[in-house]
Structure 1
Amino acid sequence: MNKTVLKSMEIIRLFFDEESLTLLQIMNKTDLPKTSAYRMAESLLELGFLEKDKNGAYRLGLIFLVLGNLVAERLDIRSITLPYMQRLRKETGEAVNLVIRDGEEAVYIEKVDTQESVRVFTQIGRRAPLYGGACPRVLLSFIEPEEQEQLLQSFDIVPYANGTPKDKDDVRRLIEETRKKGWSISHSELENYSSAIAAPIFNHKGDVVAGISLVGPEVRFRDEVHVQEMITKLTEAAKHISAAIGADKSES
């Protein structure tokens, strides 16, 4: 393992028990030479992992508050969402997936498989580009326009399947449609002959934090009446999950 990373982590761990530490105290507790201790502490300071108080002592930076909230929020989403996912599977017969954003990708963090013999299999931990597939796309569609455009500029559009968006203008069109409707649908975007309908989940601040989708073979997602029924059930579930997350956060 990288020694610099290990020593940096050793410094951070000191603050699990101490609110603030001077450079001398860090040196004494880690047995690091003054130059090394200073260089690591200042690097952690620059990255936001540490900050200095008015006396020049180091303490944990606010980035840990942000990271802690993100971890708690994502864990909360899984436990809160699972009952809704199970109900959706029962009501629609289709598989249900839950995704969150990780940088330029969507990550599947929970699923409830269909009991149908013909199905689309999704593995927890799977990653997908934000521009492809209904569920990843809702994560992209409801972030701030400036960040959205930065992501679009960074994308290298790869044709995963027959229906993958062809270029960035195609993605922009789909984003606009998704924002207007409040949900997204895809056919053969990540895998041929598979379809998905997805809706966004928002936190108490109105930020999109996850996407929930119904997934199955494309042949079962072509009947307009059936699709509309699934959209209604899915968007209602997404609203209830968002409200649950918002209520939990406002009380904490």
Structure 2
Amino acid sequence: MSTSNNMLNILTLFSIEEPVLDADIICEKLNFSKPTGYRYIKDLVAHGLLQRLHGGQYTFGPRISVMDYISQKSNPILRISIPLMLEIVEQTELNCCLTQFYEDYCIDIHHESFKDSSLLGYGRGRPRPAYAGAAPKIILANTGTKIQKSIFEKYQVQFMASAYAQTETEFLEKLNQVKKQGFYASQGELENHLGAIAVPIIYSSKAFPLALSIVGSVKRFNLIHVETIVDILTKAAKQIENEFKSLNHESDL
């Protein structure tokens, strides 16, 4: 494996559960010799991707924060989506999330809250399950069969336990129904007190779809008109798709 891959693998070891790691533990987890592992860590510190704390312990460095800031300010999808998400929050008085699929989990890349609502347990960048909630279902429904099968194989126990699907065939059929419907509504799937409605944003043939969703308390969801919310979300999703395609077309000229 190349040096660059080895160094990137070090960064992937850090998580919410393990935000700080000892240098020797890093070497042990990745089967590096200590001289090799220490050299990689030293280079990552030099580039600001890691910072040393005390006693040979390390955590993410300041360059990570800079990269996240650049991502928030320069990502064209975010620049297009955020004004529309603010409008959705204003119209619905609910929270609005933009979610993407990565590997075998979902992450919210942006969310707007109604009056600083503290309902959302998952914030920007925090991985959440690929088997629960409206956003994962609508994204999976608009991906290829190969990916759908791999997710079912990995999380079959969870899909069965939630009574969503008992077999792969049933799982694929349900996702096909979701795709035809154009949205997915959930109540209590990800967190017991939350409901959500999500629609897909299919902005590129070379990338996973995104999910645009509104999120609120289950009590509130019992009172909303689903068709109205779906219409608001769908119009916003189409506008995001069209503006992104227009942006790409202009850059090709």
3-state SS in 1 of match to 2:158: coil
Give, in whole Å, the separation in 2 of the partners of 1:157 and 1:78: 34
CA contact under 8 A between 1:137 and 1:184: conserved in structure 2? yes
Moved more, 91-100 or 108-117: 108-117
- The answer to whether 1:227 aligns with 2:226 is yes
C-alpha distance after superposition, 1:38-89 (max 9, x if no partner): xxxxxxxxxxxxxxxxxxxxxxxxxxxxxxxxx89x9221111100100000
1:251 counterpart residue number: 250
CA contact under 8 A between 1:164 and 1:190: conserved in structure 2? no
CA contact under 8 A between 1:101 and 1:139: conserved in structure 2? yes
State how 1:1-252 maps to structure 2 within 5 Å: 5=3, 75-115=75-115, 119-158=119-158, 165=164, 167-169=166-168, 171-205=171-205, 208-223=208-223, 226-252=225-251
C-alpha spacing 1:171/1:118, structure 2 compared with 1 (3 Å): farther
Give, in whole Å, the separation in 1 of the partners of 2:177 and 2:131: 13
Q: Deviation at 1:145?
A: 1.7
C-alpha distance after superposition, 1:23-48 (max 9, x if no partner): xxxxxxxxxxxxxxxxxxxxxxxxxx
CA contact under 8 A between 1:204 and 1:250: conserved in structure 2? no
C-alpha distance after superposition, 1:100-128 (max 9, x if no partner): 11111111110001228684443111222
Moved more, 104-113 or 205-214: 205-214
Q: Deviation at 1:164?
A: 7.1
What TM-score, normalized by structure 1, do the two folds share? 0.64
CA contact under 8 A between 1:201 and 1:208: conserved in structure 2? no
3-state SS in 1 of match to 2:115: coil
Tell me which amino acid in the other structure corresponds to 1:150.
S
Q: Deviation at 1:144?
A: 1.4
Q: Deviation at 1:151?
A: 2.6
Moved more, 95-104 or 242-251: 242-251
3-state SS in 1 of match to 2:78: helix
Q: Deviation at 1:216?
A: 0.5
Q: Deviation at 1:149?
A: 1.7
C-alpha spacing 1:8/1:129, structure 2 compared with 1 (3 Å): closer
Which protein is bigger by CA-based radius of gyration? 1
3-state SS in 2 of match to 1:77: helix
Residue identity over aligned pairs, in percent, reads 24
C-alpha spacing 1:241/1:165, structure 2 compared with 1 (3 Å): same
C-alpha spacing 1:163/1:120, structure 2 compared with 1 (3 Å): farther
Moved more, 194-203 or 110-119: 110-119
2:44 counterpart residue number: none
Give, in whole Å, the separation in 2 of the partners of 1:125 and 1:243: 26
What TM-score, normalized by structure 2, do the two folds share? 0.63
Q: Deviation at 1:163?
A: 5.6
Q: Deviation at 1:138?
A: 1.4
Tell me which amino acid in the other structure corresponds to 2:235.
E
Q: Deviation at 1:177?
A: 2.5
Q: Deviation at 1:205?
A: 3.0
3-state SS in 2 of match to 1:220: helix
3-state SS in 2 of match to 1:158: helix
Q: Deviation at 1:146?
A: 2.4
Q: CA RMSD in A?
A: 3.0
Q: Deviation at 1:172?
A: 3.4
> What 5-or-longer segments of structure 1 have no aligned partner?
10-70
